Structure 1
Amino acid sequence: MSVFTVFAQLVEDLADLLQPLFGATAAAAAIVLFTALVRLLVHPLSRAAARGQKARTALQPKIAELRRKHAKDPQKLQRAVLELHAEEKVSPLSGCLPGLLQLPAFFLLYRLFSSTSIGGETNALLNHQLFSAPLGGRFADALGGGGLLGAASLVYLGLFALVTAVAAVNYRRTRRTMAATAPVTVADGGQQVPGLGAMNKVMPFLSFFTLFTVAVVPLAAALYVVTSTTWSAVERAVLYS
């Protein structure tokens, strides 16, 4: 039995469990519940990432002092900053783990709702819908089927509105975080690392990339993305307050 067969059965079982409450949208509700379970599993790592972020913010006065002390020796400055992080047991990469560990779940949903058959049998999950939008369909399919104001397209427009609101919140938070934890940006000769300034300007806008993801992946995978990003926004508001 393949992992996709097991996963498909899990989604079907969750949908059956939720059917009395959600009716025809039970499979969509099952995906939201599955996403919440995944986020609960990685929540301890999110808490660790929040502690790491606060610790990095607390180190900024010491890093500023190192910048003044080693202003004419960029390599020594970078070594001193790394040593400071090691001494304080602060990892600059800890914030990446929660997102990386969610990728397998996202790709499972993507593959599951992109396949017409599972284990040699017809993929029954493709028959499920969120209101009028098939969980295996994409925004382009909705546009082609009923236009921008068609019943299926309205489901996507609602998701786009939610994603835009969440992305705006994340944009403001990312800008504040980057301002509070400015990285070492000098290379040999004391010059700024080429391209780093532009990257720092672009990074806060990456939250809006979720809009593109929601538009091109199957609706089931889009639900995972929307649920997860909304969870992240609420979780960060709590953990970083």
Structure 2
Amino acid sequence: MDLFALPPLAALLDLTTQGLLALTALLSPVAGGAAAALAVLLVTVVVRAALIPVGVSQARAERDRARLAPRLRLLRERWGKNPERLQRETLQLYRDAGVSPTAGCLPVLAQAPVVGLLYAVFLHAQVGGHANALLAQTLSGVPLGTSLLAAVTGGTADARTLLLLCVVVAVIAGAGELTRRFLRPAQDPAAPAWTAWIVTTLPFTTAVVALFVPLAAGLYLAVTTVWTFGQRLILRRFYPIE
């Protein structure tokens, strides 16, 4: 079932498509054939700029959770054999300190609707009862609705397509590696081993997602991952993790 066939989501999809087309037409005199791609990039910048306060909140929460780490270790040592009591005491500690244990998820959750809409826009051949003109838009000759996995499995991946899509994925993976090296929080020695694996691999999950989504959504993900790294690097100076 296509969720975007439901009237509210169909209207939102149509509105998003028309908005991108209008922005593409506005940018065409300057960007030419890359106008649609530039429109996606501008949308990304606007979304990320709007989320700066959320990023500040995330940086503050990371600092506060780092300060609570010694007390959390003591709780695990005391109540490790009583999971229910450990959970209650942990949540109480967060409440007493005024720290949200889920604050780090806010930027991802806030962006999910935008990525989902971009993904849907470039997957639907028809939007609002008419042909989706955005699918005719390209970047360096590669349709914005093309995904790396679909191009490879469908046999339509020429050298230009592979190069451009691989560059997008490489930028995302590179931002993930920089995040892992410079912004990974100190690992709690008392934490389970699987948490270290999650912390190490999480920055690269966006690169995996980029293999499946259309080029337009991949451009959004590439810009937002680079933005996220730069923003967190700057905010770490104001909210250092000791």
Structure 1 length-normalised TM: 0.83
Question: 1:177: which partner in 2?
Answer: 185
Cα separation, 2, equivalents of 1:153 and 1:116: 23
Question: 1:145: which partner in 2?
Answer: 156
Higher mean displacement: 112-121 or 131-140: 131-140
Q: In the superposition, relative to structure 1, how do residues 162 and 73 fare at CA in structure 2: closer, same or farther (>3 Å)?
A: closer
Cα separation, 1, equivalents of 2:139 and 2:51: 27
Question: Residue type of the partner of 2:170?
Answer: A
Q: In the superposition, relative to structure 1, how do residues 20 and 122 fare at CA in structure 2: closer, same or farther (>3 Å)?
A: same
Cα separation, 2, equivalents of 1:72 and 1:57: 20
Higher mean displacement: 160-169 or 138-147: 138-147
Query: Does the 8 Å contact 2:148/2:165 carry over to 1?
Result: yes
Q: How far off its partner does 1:74 sit?
A: 4.7
Q: In the superposition, relative to structure 1, how do residues 183 and 115 fare at CA in structure 2: closer, same or farther (>3 Å)?
A: farther
Q: How far off its partner does 1:101 sit?
A: 1.4
Residues 151-162 of structure 1 mapped to structure 2, 5 A cutoff: 151-162=160-171
Q: How far off its partner does 1:218 sit?
A: 1.0
Specify which of 226, 230, 233 is matched with residue 222 of structure 2: 226
Specify which of 120, 128, 140 is matched with residue 119 of structure 1: 128
Structure 2 length-normalised TM: 0.83
2:132 matches 1:136: no
Question: Residue type of the partner of 1:28?
Answer: A
Q: CA RMSD in A?
A: 2.3
Cα separation, 2, equivalents of 1:121 and 1:79: 54
Question: 2:4: which partner in 1?
Answer: none
Q: How many residues are matched? A: 225
Structure 2 residues without counterparts, runs of 5 or longer: 1-9, 238-242
Cα separation, 2, equivalents of 1:177 and 1:214: 25
Question: 1:49: which partner in 2?
Answer: 58
Query: Does the 8 Å contact 2:210/2:218 carry over to 1?
Result: yes
Structure 1 residues without counterparts, runs of 5 or longer: 186-195
Question: 2:6: which partner in 1?
Answer: none
Residues 186-201 of structure 1 mapped to structure 2, 5 A cutoff: 196-201=192-197
Q: Which contiguous aligned blocks of 4+ residues in structure 1 show a shift greater than 3 angstroms?
A: 61-68, 71-81, 140-143
